[in-house]
Amino acid sequence: MNAPTDSLPDAGATPPSGADGDALASSLVLAARRVRERAYAPYSGFAVGAAVVDEQGRIHVGCNVENAAYPQGLCAEAGALAALVASGGRRVLAAAVVGASHAADRPVMPCGGCRQRLREFAGPSMAIWLADEHRVLGHRTLDQLLPEGFGPADLGRAGPAT
């Protein structure tokens, strides 16, 4: 794996493809489904799970954590990224988000804030798999979700600090 750099098209993050990619996507979706069961969402009842794989192939997970003071709630993706950083990871190579949308066949998408959070650790072609309890509903690249996003390179950094 090359050193992370934001100046390369994919910043060292290659979306999953072929059999390996399918297996990785399955692992990420499964991990996100499992952690979603632990979501703390007593107010919305809207449970979300997220999983990210780092540059060492390790999967980190997070679930949403609501709070009686509503704005203090945290998204599942934020938890997964915190776990990645806490364990020494610095890149997201692929991600999965699992939730149950109220709109038929529409996957739960990362919120705007989490798209930016993911951007800190991932290149534009990083794949985000979207699923519910039963089905994988598709995937998007980060660039599709956050086109022309602001990132470390805009502050003169090659990528996330290591």
In whole angstroms, the minimum distance from the beta carbon of 160 to Zn ion comes to: 19
Residues 55-94 that bind Zn ion (CB under 5 A): 75
77 among known catalytic residues:
yes
Of the pair 12, 75, the CB lying nearest Zn ion is at 75
Q: Is 126 in the site for Zn ion (CB under 5 A)?
A: no
Cα 27 from Cα 119, distance rounded (Å): 22
Contacting Zn ion (CB under 5 A), which of 8, 65, 111, 137?
111
Residue 96: Cβ-neighbour burial (10 angstroms; 0-12, 13-18, 19+): buried
Go through 12-26 and write b for each residue having 16 or more CB atoms within 10 A of its CB, e for each that does not: bbebbeeeebeebbe
Cβ 18 to Zn ion shortest distance, Å: 30
Residue type for position 57: G
Which of 55, 66, 77, 148 is catalytic? The answer is 77
Shortest distance in whole angstroms from residue 156 CB to Zn ion: 27
Residue of 48, 50, 96, 114 that binds Zn ion (CB under 5 A): 114
94 backbone dihedrals φ, ψ, rounded to 5°: -165, 160
Closer CB to Zn ion, 8 or 111, in the complex: 111
**Interface residue list for Zn ion (CB under 5 A):** 75, 111, 113-114
Which residues are identified as catalytic?
77
